[in-house]
Amino acid sequence: MNSKQVIVSAVVGSLAMFFGGMAIHAKTAYAGAVAKDVIEMNNTAAFAKHKMGIVMFGHKKHFAAKPDGHGIACGECHHDKDHKALALKQGDAVQGCMECHKKAEKPKKGKGVSAADDAKLEREYYYGAIHENCIGCHKKAAAGPVKCAECHPKKATK
Ligand code: HEC
Ligand code: HEC
Ligand code: HEC
Ligand code: HEC
């Protein structure tokens, strides 16, 4: 199989299994990239130091059609500045989450604010947005990991 092939198609799910790809470091902006199979979630702009093990996110596994993947539409995770779900196809430019969920490091719990307001404050941070996206769906769908160590592998001791 030619791993360099670039297929532009709206029916990405059924074709996704043919894409080759290697784990990459997550950057903040991606132009015309073919979506990677696995994304090494190591955002050094958001976190000066990762205290937890680096998450290896099975990107393709999430958007590939069932039964090989979880059959999740791109727009469940990728949206525009008005929070409108994006109908992406392979090769489209994608903005990193941090272009909008700009704040670095961890949010502090808002004191004396409602849970809804607190969630809004927290998702101004990349940390809050990414956790809400990943863990939020897993909880809602009652499928997928919600425990820390299921996403963050234990760090090798030096
Ligand atoms: C569904 C997967 C998932 C679960 C479950 C999860 N995280 Fe994360 N977490 C992530 C991702 C993805 C990032 C973003 C890392 C990046 O892009 O650099 C992250 C980032 C972090 C960071 C900031 C980076 C670092 O290593 O210091 C901390 C701290 C963190 N998580 C703690 C936790 C804790 C504590 C729990 C359990 C209460 C938890 N996470 C559960 C996926 C998860
Ligand atoms: C379950 C959530 C989720 C789904 C579904 C999803 N993505 Fe992503 N995608 C992400 C996350 C998280 C990143 C990393 C963003 C960052 O680093 O800020 C990313 C990064 C990307 C990137 C840049 C990095 C790379 O892989 O080259 C592209 C391009 C991309 N996605 C395209 C797509 C397309 C096209 C689809 C649908 C076929 C899709 N994504 C489906 C969550 C998702
Ligand atoms: C172009 C700007 C932009 C980008 C890029 C962006 N977001 Fe958002 N996001 C928004 C806006 C605007 C809202 C709605 C405001 C709010 O609720 O705080 C939002 C809301 C959210 C929410 C709460 C509602 C929901 O959908 O569950 C989550 C979680 C989220 N974003 C995660 C992400 C993740 C993960 C990425 C990267 C894959 C990302 N965002 C990329 C602008 C953006
Ligand atoms: C819209 C829903 C949704 C979002 C968003 C989502 N996931 Fe998942 N995730 C799932 C489902 C469904 C499964 C499959 C669970 C099963 O088969 O029991 C899954 C499974 C997983 C698994 C187990 C291995 C695998 O792929 O089957 C990991 C790890 C994981 N997700 C990490 C993440 C991370 C990290 C993010 C955010 C960057 C994320 N997920 C965002 C729905 C989602």
- Distance (Å, rounded) from C-alpha 34 to C-alpha 94? 10
Residue 157 has what pLDDT? 62
Alpha carbon of 157 to ligand 4 centroid (Å)? 27
Answer yes or no: is pLDDT of 105 > 70.
yes
Mean pLDDT along residues 71-89: 97
pLDDT tens digit sequence for 2-54: 444 433 333 333 333 333 333 333 344 566 667 789 999 999 999 999 999 99
Nearest CA to ligand 2 atom 33: 35
- Candidates 65, 70, 63; CA nearest to 34 is 63
CA dihedral of 81, 54, 117, 72, whole degrees rounded to 10: 50
Nearest CA to ligand 1 atom 2: 151
Per the listing, tokens 């941090």 go with 98
Of 8-17, 36-45, 56-65, 101-110, the one with minimum mean pLDDT is 8-17
Nearest CA to ligand 3 atom 2: 81
Amino acid of residue 154: K
Nearest CA to ligand 2 atom 42: 77
Alpha carbon of 96 to ligand 3 centroid (Å)? 10
- Burial of 151 by CB count in 10 Å (0-12 exposed, 13-18 middle, 19+ buried)? buried
Residue 30 has what pLDDT? 63
Work out which ligand 3 atom sits closest to the CA atom of 133: 29
Q: Which ligand is the nearest neighbour of the Cα of 117?
A: 3
Mean pLDDT along residues 120-127: 97
